[in-house]
A and B are shown apart, each in its own frame.
Chain A
Amino acid sequence: MSVATKIGTTKKNGNHRSTEPAAIRWLLTAIALLFLGLFLLVPLAAVFSQAFEKGVAVYLAAINEADSWSSIRLTLITAAVAVPLNLVFGVIASWGIAKFSFPGKNLLITLIDLPFSVSPVISGLIYILIFGRQGWLGPFLEGHDIKIVFAVPGIILATVFVTFPFIARELIPLMEAQGRDEEEAAMVLGATGLQTFFRVTLPNIKWGIIYGVILCNARAMGEFGAVSVVSGHIRGMTNTLPLHVEILYNEYNYTAAFAVASLLAFLALITLVVKTVVEWKVRQQMAE
């Protein structure tokens, strides 16, 4: 029993004086669980039950279809490009913000948060306005026969924009909390800028990067709004998984829609598991 509880409390009550009475605790926990169940578990269960409603064979057939495969492929390619790009940008931006002082720093931080505050539909519209036929670069692109909007590059660009803040927002507070001391020590000892970055800065932010990448990936694969505006919904060519789900649903092909949606649900579950493992490892590291 801690020393603190001996002051002013009777031994009988022990720690209970500092927490809510049992009834309130149970009530709050129940409300939280109800909320969780209603908004998370029930929809998840609905997706899987609808997907397997007509049996496993129909489920597999829906996923095994050509358009499904191309949408899976496109989603994977988009994530495979967007996440590394954002990783590089995010690390560089966080490094600049956390380790240096320069005019306009606060503006940069605000700009990094911009994709969060903008509606995903607008995020997609931005690219139409810039790269579309009537856009700023429209005539130039047409003249050189380069397709950006309604094609894969546009999808990737829109995804990069929307998922940009995840890694930066994870790293900036982490790096600011770590301060500049270690980097200064490295420089005084004779390390070059690159040596300092790779041998001192990077290992310290390892878990922040992993966490940021997990979140960035989850959003990159699941993004709907921005990609929907930019993609053109050309079946088999510019449909990502989320868009494909929408198409199937609009054709009243519910089982197939839910079957494909279950893939995204699996992704969400895997993301959750990996996230929990990483958090556990971080806590272990902190405790050392």
Chain B
Amino acid sequence: MSAPLVIFFVLAALAVIGAISLILQKHPIHSALSLIVVMVALAGLYLLIGAEFVAAVQIIVYGGAIMVLFVLVIMLLNAGEEERTNFSKLAKFGGLPLALALTGLLAATMTKHGASVANPETAGTLAPTGQISTLLFTTFVYPFELTSFLILVAIMGALVLAQREKS
């Protein structure tokens, strides 16, 4: 039971508990806080893999911007607790096992050929940030410029949506 394995199980348990809490909480703000816990746990897992820049970007963008947007919208709309749901029998006894079956199928497919994705020579090393930035501006420059255009379009869309109606 090496130290990375212990850290992996702790962070994985944290992520799964956060995801289950997202499903089971009644108030949307508690669901949002559970999702933040999941994101921070995932950032820890990225650090364990060695992708330190992705971990930092995950916390800054996902945890510090997107989830802040969610929390502010929940505060603005004054979202209350959800009403009592009455699921049909089909949903409870057919839907949940099907979702679990989907998960099991995905997990089984991924691990069936698990031995062939062995860890190569870069296992255990940190990914150099300078190399990521070089790649972003040389090989991946078209997607990079397109995503900046996408953000501009999203900003304009959000501005148009936020305008008051001219009545």
Pair from one complex: no
Please give the residue numbers on chain A whose beta carbons come within 8 Å of chain B beta carbons, in ascending order.
none
